[in-house]
Amino acid sequence: MPKFYLTTPIYYVNAAPHIGHTYTTIAADLIKRYKSMCGYDVVLTTGTDEHGQKIERAAKNVNKTPQEFTDLVSAEFRQQWETLGLSVDRFRRTSDPAHHAVVQDLYRRCKENGYIYKGSYTGQYCVFDELYVNDAKPGGACPDCGRPTETVTEENLYFKLSAFTDRLLKLYEDQPGFIQPETRRNEVIAFVSQGLKDLSISRTTIQWGIPVPDEPKHVFYVWFDALTTYKSAVEGEGLWPADLHLIGKEIVRFHAIYWPAFLWAAGWELPKKIFAHGWLLFENDKMSKSRGNIVRATPIRDVMGMDALRYFLLREIHFGQDGSFSFDALVGRYNADLANGLGNLASRTLSMIRQYRGGVIPAHAGCPAVAGTAAAAIGQVRASFDEFAFSKGLDAVWGLIGTADKFIVERAPWKLVKDPSAAAQLDETLYTAAEVLRIVTVLLAPVMPESAARIWGQLGCQAPLSAQRIDELAWGQLNGGQAVGEAAAVFPRVEPAPAVEQMRALEEKETARQKALLGQKDEEPAPAQGARPEAMPPIPIDIFSQVDLRAGLVKSAARVKGADKLLHLSVDIGEAEPRSIVAGIALAYEPETLVGRKVVIVANLEPRKLRGILSQGMIVAASLEGGSPVLAGFLEDVPVGARLK
């Protein structure tokens, strides 16, 4: 069998697992099951990324050593995937000595090939993103997360990333499928086209990391370490290169730029594809600890079942784009698609076969028209799943379910059974419904393995569902004369209000359990809407008068490539040329909604570059702690350039 090796991100242990981690791992589990049912020998790797300054500090905050802290969180991730029934084959920790050996081998190869040199760095560093920020001033904001950077001075080992600029651009041009979806590919190309700077790959100001050979003061920078996990997890098994790295869009730069360069420098093969999906939002807002809106998977599983969560995430969200989760939407789609859709088709089909034909599927070729629709659906599902367009593939499955429902209503077997001369037509009707149910069950096995297996058993099929071949699936493979099993509701209807209330209550318990496990204390709640924020210390009037606040008119707005939170604005404040301003408001405002809007800017800030774009001021916005920014504006007409006093 051909091999297929895929990976999830190596999850960072600064927090316990939540639904965002689960979303990626569910998608990887689906791909594994789908590829297995298409004849591939599939291996899925996940793991935990356990080194770095952020982990050192997180452990200290809860009075644990870094090893004790990472042992706890890593075990929580491993237990989570087992509890949720996700079929992981390799779980690699970056604290594993076997992983250390591969990282050190990567380093030696890069050094021997002339891509490593020693230098020193004085500048800004974002602890949260483990990222060097070359353009920021002391205390300046990180361009990725907006948090204040820290000034560091240390001796470093550098990797000659700049030597790979042209080679990377040629890779992206020659292999357009290397980075997907297209939006992520374009972002990476735009970033690399600006030119790459050499990358520090070691730290001397921390101790929690993999030691660098022959450099006793140095440990490896977290990304040189973490990315190598994909290879160390299967070292010596003949599985490298990976066929697919499945990641979130926020880490695409590290995977699509750093990782290929490291591998080239070592003389190792590149992965075949990197697919970066979008963010999973909660009720249309980004999940974060500061907002207090992180959701865990186990409370949802306990109330709705794991397959309901799998189906919702894979059907509701177009994989590759941002998508939103809410408890209400989950229950609504469950009732509409699973209880009333698939569940109803299975129940009525099996009940009619038992009632009208003694529980035996009649021998027949089935309806040719429905057979044609089923063949088309099989092709659409395969094409969609091959491109990771899971929602589109599931649309095709539910289109086939709708066809079967309509067919049953039009044939009205409850009437045919009363007419002895319509026996052949009744057989055709029942066989057609049963064959659609069989095909749908096979197609859904990678998506909802537990529920599909129950329907498969009720249909009377003896061979394991996981052994069925999707690449060989065709109409007419259901044997006539097969006895069906006892029908039982696979998707009982759920009352929305009690279910949502129960999930929220279990979510609170699970949050408390995770915090207790990690020794974390409850954070102070964010101020309620309308609550007064804590007052800042008073300042003299002459200090305030030094701030030049101006009314401005937004002339244009566009997203900054490679930065999900940034917009590049052109703002007229009455000067000869509009100001170029980079603002972190992309998650709250669509660019086109800002054009023509009057805003307030700080006009006398020192210019600085963000993502290579000169920012000549700062836009003024209000925000509660953890909330979305709200731009300051005017109720009355104010001339462009007017000063605020």
Q: Which segment of 559-568, 592-601, 618-627 scores lowest on mean pLDDT?
A: 618-627
**Rounded mean pLDDT, 291-295:** 67
Beta bridge partners, 414, equal: none
pLDDT surpasses 60 at 341: yes
Higher pLDDT, 284 or 197: 197
Residue 166 CB-half CA count within 13 A: 1
- The domain covering 3-277 belongs, at the CATH homologous superfamily level, to HUPs (3.40.50.620)
Check residue 466 and give its pLDDT.
Answer: 95
Determine the 3-state secondary structure of 374 from DSSP: helix
Check residue 80 and give its pLDDT.
Answer: 96
pLDDT surpasses 70 at 535: no
Check residue 536 and give its pLDDT.
Answer: 60
User: Is 349:458 a contact under the CB 8 Å cutoff?
Assistant: no
User: Is 13:78 a contact under the CB 8 Å cutoff?
Assistant: no
Check residue 137 and give its pLDDT.
Answer: 73
Q: Which CATH architecture is the domain 309-472 placed in?
A: Orthogonal Bundle (1.10)
pLDDT digits over 132-146, tens only?
776 677 777 777 667
**Rounded mean pLDDT, 14-27:** 94
pLDDT surpasses 60 at 157: yes
Check residue 284 and give its pLDDT.
Answer: 55
Tokens 């309901």 found at: 308
pLDDT surpasses 50 at 605: yes
Closest-CA residue to 310 (of 43, 77, 27, 506): 27
DSSP letter assigned to residue 234: T
**Rounded mean pLDDT, 623-640:** 70
Higher pLDDT, 608 or 339: 339
Tokens 């359990």 found at: 513
Check residue 252 and give its pLDDT.
Answer: 95
Check residue 564 and give its pLDDT.
Answer: 74
pLDDT digits over 244-278, tens only?
999 999 999 999 999 999 999 999 999 999 999 99
Check residue 124 and give its pLDDT.
Answer: 84
Q: Chain-centre distance of CA 635, in angstroms?
A: 40
Q: What percent of the chain has pLDDT over 70?
A: 94
Sign of torsion over alpha carbons 9, 325, 521, 79: negative
The per-residue pLDDT of the chain, averaged, comes to 90
User: Is 86:29 a contact under the CB 8 Å cutoff?
Assistant: yes
**What is the full DSSP assignment across 17-45?**
--HHHHHHHHHHHHHHHHHHTTT-EEEEE
Given this chain, do its domains 3-277 and 543-644 carry the same CATH topology?
no
Look at strands 244-248 and 567-572 and give their pairing: unpaired
Check residue 597 and give its pLDDT.
Answer: 86
Higher pLDDT, 238 or 56: 238
Beta bridge partners, 123, equal: 152
Instruction: List the strands of the sheet with 285-286, edge to edge.
Output: 285-286, 280-282, 323-325
pLDDT band with cut points at 50, 70 and 90 for residue 546: confident
**Rounded mean pLDDT, 324-335:** 95
User: Is 206:56 a contact under the CB 8 Å cutoff?
Assistant: yes
Token reading at 408:
């049953």
Closest-CA residue to 228 (of 445, 49, 482): 49
Neighbours of 614 (CB within 10 A): 13
**Rounded mean pLDDT, 78-84:** 97
pLDDT surpasses 50 at 525: no
Look at strands 579-583 and 116-126 and give their pairing: unpaired
Check residue 106 and give its pLDDT.
Answer: 98
**Rounded mean pLDDT, 229-243:** 98
DSSP letter assigned to residue 479: P
pLDDT band with cut points at 50, 70 and 90 for residue 586: confident
pLDDT band with cut points at 50, 70 and 90 for residue 519: confident
Distance CA 398, CA 2 (A): 31
Token reading at 461:
């099929």
Rg (C-alpha) for the chain, rounded Å, is 28
pLDDT surpasses 70 at 534: no
For 415-433, b/e burial (b = at least 16 CB within 10 A) is ebbeeeebeeebbbbbbbb
User: Is 115:159 a contact under the CB 8 Å cutoff?
Assistant: yes
Check residue 143 and give its pLDDT.
Answer: 73
Closest-CA residue to 23 (of 342, 339, 318, 229): 318
Token reading at 242:
């990976």
pLDDT digits over 95-127, tens only?
999 999 999 999 999 999 999 999 987 778 787
Check residue 205 and give its pLDDT.
Answer: 83
**Rounded mean pLDDT, 599-612:** 87
Q: Which segment of 30-34, 438-442, 542-546 scores lowest on mean pLDDT?
A: 542-546
Residues 6+ apart with CB under 8 A from 369: none
pLDDT surpasses 60 at 626: no
For 75-106, b/e burial (b = at least 16 CB within 10 A) is ebbbebbeebebbbebbbbbbbeebbebbbbb
Distance CA 242, CA 254 (A): 16
**Rounded mean pLDDT, 580-601:** 85
Domain residue ranges in the chain: 3-277, 309-472, 543-644
Class of domain 543-644: mainly beta
**What is the full DSSP assignment across 437-464?**
HHHHHHHHTTTSHHHHHHHHHHTT--S-
**Rounded mean pLDDT, 54-67:** 89
**Rounded mean pLDDT, 493-520:** 92
